[in-house]
């Protein structure tokens, strides 16, 4: 390889790894020449090669810039509207998910398959300090103190946070739960009956499928646009033909697609469902992890009839270990409160108080700003690395928030096979099989990019790409 080819490959690698981002200015020809100890003409040949490959572009009077990738980064194709829409499915996905999560937690494996964010930058030591202080000062604090709906301090803090984020809520509508898992379960149980059909996005976050499975309901997967969310047109057509008991969606940074539903479509969805008097269960656990300028709206923002049951938690934004979530169940509040009491009696008091103290006194926003910035950067780095290492025909999502990338492998690559091969090499991934009750997405995987970029992660992605290539 010539000197100029070596330099070009090096810069291409930096772009692929996301060290250089779209629109970034490259060092000038003169600077590069000095830093690398290369002649001006060698640097010029390298830049020119990169330009011809569409990786950088020269702008008059300005220098060289990394090209915006609109053209070079393929987008996932919208899901076909020809899917067998009228057939709902029994749901039995939890065994697969549980066994997958069990291996994903295996020690020393590269955690690309983890559903949780890297805990390292999270302020759990501070929250533990608050918990310790409460445990020391509280005399005879009792399980009876926080009967449903929950700890009043925490309920106030949650209401305050919703207000800051643009959603005024009545604190008395809040019901504290054991993680968002319990919130989603209780909301669905309040809104629909065993045997009922529930409309979901496709791919579907498996937590939603679990809730449907737990109650012996049926899932109907609705075509979903990877940038705009559930197809309102498809849903409208379904509703004109058959009875749907509820609709479950993640309008913000859906797991696994990562989209943020545009405000107009959120409103349209709420209005369409309301016109049929159908409750919408909204899973908004990633709401704090937006990459945009401001906090996204939620379906609840547009709810005038109390038909949106909003579910969230602190597990993805503060600490997963405390298992604290909440529901805003609208007109189903009394029912959800009763079901909470029946399901687990109370949510433990100490974690509720510790989180309330943290929210009141500590740097939640500072923590979140730091986390969001890192995630946004790594989303691009991981997408670039996947497109670089994986076989031709691989496509990736464009997350607007959260920390997971959805990867479509070439047709015929079995994600479970890739999962097994990767595991032998101590690399974990989330196979697409977990995201459908109908056995779709067998050639998709979900990758977690919340961990700091490292040689280990890059090597893992290279290995995954090679394995996928062998399976293709």
Distance of CA 71 to the CA centre of its chain: 25
316 binds a second copy (CB under 8 A): no
Left (φ > 0), alpha (ψ -120 to 50) or beta: where does 260 sit? beta
Does residue 210 touch a second copy according to CB under 8 A?
yes
Piece of 114-122, 218-226, 252-260, 416-424 that binds a second copy (CB under 8 A): 114-122
**Of 300-308, 334-342, 361-369, 446-454, which part binds a second copy (CB under 8 A)?**
334-342
3-state secondary structure of 246: strand
Kindly tell me which of 160 and 338 has the beta carbon lying closer to a second copy. 338
The verdict on 348 binding a second copy (CB under 8 A) reads yes
**Residues from 68 through 97 that contact a second copy (CB under 8 A):** 94-95, 97
Site string for a second copy, 119-138 (x = CB under 8 A): xx-------x--xx--xx--
Least gap, CB of 142 to a second copy (angstroms): 6
CB contact at 8 A, 293 and 401? no
162 DSSP 8-state letter: H
Q: Give the sheet arrangement for strand 430-431, strand by strand.
A: 395-396, 404-408, 444-448, 430-431
The window from 139-147, 271-279, 293-301, 373-381 that contacts a second copy (CB under 8 A) reads 139-147
Q: Is 179 in the site for a second copy (CB under 8 A)?
A: yes
Among 9, 21, 116, 295, binds a second copy (CB under 8 A): 116
Largest separation between any pair of C-alpha atoms in the chain: 78
Map residue 157 onto helix, strand or coil: helix
Q: How far apart are CA 228 and CA 225, in angstroms?
A: 5
Q: Are 72 and 54 a contacting pair, CB within 8 Å? A: yes
**Distances in whole angstroms, Cα of residue 39 to Cα of each of 14, 65, 251:** 21, 20, 53
Report the C-alpha gap between 156 and 158 in whole angstroms. Answer: 5
As measured in angstroms, the least distance from the Cβ of 213 to a second copy is 6
Tell me the C-alpha distance between 410 and 431, whole Å: 14
From 51-59, 173-181, 379-387, 460-468, span contacting a second copy (CB under 8 A):
173-181
Tokens at 169, concatenated: 């809520």
Nearer to a second copy among residue 54 and residue 195 (C-beta): 195
Binding segment (CB under 8 A) for a second copy, from list 79-87, 297-305, 316-324, 378-386: 316-324
Give the residues lining the site for a second copy (CB under 8 A): 94-95, 97-98, 101-102, 104-105, 114, 116, 119-120, 128, 131-132, 135-136, 140-145, 147-148, 178-179, 181-182, 185, 194, 210-211, 213-214, 315, 320-323, 338-339, 341-351
């Amino acid at each position: 390889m010539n000197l100029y080819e070596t330099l070009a490959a090096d810069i291409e690698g930096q772009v692929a790894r996301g060290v250089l981002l779209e629109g970034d200015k490259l060092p000038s020809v003169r600077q590069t020449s000095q830093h690398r100890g290369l002649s001006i003409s060698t640097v010029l040949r390298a830049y020119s090669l990169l330009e011809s490959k569409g990786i950088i572009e020269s702008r008059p009077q300005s220098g060289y810039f990394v090209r915006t990738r609109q053209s070079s980064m393929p987008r996932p194709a919208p899901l076909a509207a020809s899917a067998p829409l009228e057939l709902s499915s029994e749901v039995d996905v939890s065994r697969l998910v549980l066994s997958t999560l069990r291996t994903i937690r295996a020690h020393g494996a590269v955690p690309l398959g983890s559903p949780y964010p890297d805990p390292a930058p999270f302020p759990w030591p501070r929250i533990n300090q608050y918990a310790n202080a409460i445990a020391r000062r509280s005399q005879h604090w009792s399980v009876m103190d926080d009967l449903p709906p929950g700890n009043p301090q925490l309920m106030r803090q949650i209401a305050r946070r919703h207000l800051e984020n643009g959603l005024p809520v009545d604190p008395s509508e809040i019901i504290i739960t054991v993680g968002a898992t319990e919130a989603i379960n209780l909301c669905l149980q309040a809104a629909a009956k065993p045997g009922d059909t529930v409309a979901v996005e496709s791919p579907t976050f498996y937590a939603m499928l679990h809730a449907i499975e737990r109650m012996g309901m049926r899932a109907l997967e609705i075509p979903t646009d990877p940038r705009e969310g559930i197809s309102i047109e498809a849903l409208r057509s379904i509703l004109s033909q058959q009875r749907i008991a509820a609709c479950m969606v993640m309008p913000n940074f859906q797991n696994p697609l990562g989209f943020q539903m545009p405000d107009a479509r959120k409103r349209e969805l709420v209005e369409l469902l309301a016109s049929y008097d159908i409750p919408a269960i909204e899973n908004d656990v990633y709401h704090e992890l937006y990459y945009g300028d401001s906090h996204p709206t939620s379906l609840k923002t547009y709810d005038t009839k109390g038909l949106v049951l909003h579910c969230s938690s602190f597990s993805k934004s503060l600490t997963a270990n405390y298992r604290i979530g909440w529901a805003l169940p609208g007109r189903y509040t009394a029912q959800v409160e009763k079901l909470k009491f029946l399901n687990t009696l109370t949510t433990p008091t100490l974690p509720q108080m510790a989180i309330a103290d943290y929210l009141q006194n500590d740097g939640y926003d500072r923590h979140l700003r730091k986390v969001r910035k890192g995630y946004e950067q790594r989303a691009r780095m991981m997408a670039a690395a996947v497109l670089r290492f994986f076989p031709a025909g691989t496509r990736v999502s464009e997350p607007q928030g959260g920390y997971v990338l959805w990867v479509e492998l070439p047709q015929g690559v079995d994600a479970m096979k890739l999962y097994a091969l990767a595991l032998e090499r101590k690399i974990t991934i989330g196979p697409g099989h977990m995201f459908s009750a109908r056995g779709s997405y067998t050639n998709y995987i979900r990758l977690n990019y919340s961990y700091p970029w490292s040689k280990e992660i890059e090597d893992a992605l290279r290995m995954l790409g090679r394995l996928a290539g062998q399976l293709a």
